């Protein structure tokens, strides 16, 4: 299992547009991918779960990636977070 931690810098936090892009990216990987904030966990392959976390600017999220392509998935998601959030 790979874990990526990221502190959101976008002033709007994780809002609908980047959340949708993140879901699309995650769906391209076979691995199980979860996003965690403050003890709440959601599947990164579903936008409703991501939006329900209500991630704001300055909050840190953890992304847990577990599966056959976890290295590529973790690297891709980390790059997306740094570029978009």
65 is known as an active-site residue: no
Q: Each residue's pLDDT tens digit in the chain (85 positions)?
A: 999 999 999 999 999 999 999 999 999 999 999 999 998 999 999 999 999 999 999 999 999 999 999 999 999 999 999 998 8
> pTM for the full model?
0.88
10, 12, 14, 15: the active-site residue: 15
How far does CA 54 lie from the centroid of its chain? 12
The architecture (CATH level 2) of 2-84 comes to 2-Layer Sandwich (3.30)
């Amino acid at each position: 299992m790979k874990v990526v931690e990221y502190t959101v810098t976008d002033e709007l936090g994780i809002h609908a547009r980047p959340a949708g892009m993140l879901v699309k990216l995650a769906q391209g990987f076979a691995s199980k991918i979860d996003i965690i904030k403050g003890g709440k966990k959601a599947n990164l392959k579903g936008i409703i779960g991501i939006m329900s976390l209500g991630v704001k600017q300055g909050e840190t999220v953890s992304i847990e990636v577990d599966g056959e392509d976890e290295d590529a998935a973790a690297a891709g998601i980390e790059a997306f977070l740094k570029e978009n959030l």
